[in-house]
Amino acid sequence: MSIFGKIKDAIFGKKVAPVQEPGMRQSNPSSPVGGGDVTIAPAPTTQPDTQVNVEQVLAGIAASKGNPDLNWRTSIVDLMKLLDMDSSLQNRKELATELGYTGEKDGSAEMNMWLQKEVMRQLAAHGGKIPANLTD
């Protein structure tokens, strides 16, 4: 799984595949097995996703951990630590590649600030509610 995918799952929660009800059985006279029954699975139903308040979720995680001194609003390293993820330079380089960063992948302040903003923009693009000050 991608690093951004892990961040998204940690904030939005993992989506569980819907359990399908048993399908209807229908006779199929053209079956090569001599007209056996065929199971027709019902079409899965999709419900509209509700928007996740990312800031509220992250503040809740911080509170549940005793409000650790992590500045997740502006630091990609602290955001990853808050989510119990490896915030090493190697993982941040991989995240930068995933998200399309074109600058030097050297762990610079520029790269890290870009990553933080881009992660927030991507969370918003995937249904997260993000305050403007976290994406600008």
Rounded CA separation 88/85 (Å):
9
Residue 37 has pLDDT above 80, yes or no: no
Residue 28 has pLDDT above 60, yes or no: no
Rounded CA separation 136/55 (Å):
15
Q: Kindly state the percentage of the chain with pLDDT values over 90.
A: 62
Q: Which amino acid is at 103?
A: G
Q: Is the pTM of this model over 0.95?
A: no
Is 124:9 a contact under the CB 8 Å cutoff? no
Give me the residues paired with residue 40 across strands. Answer: 24
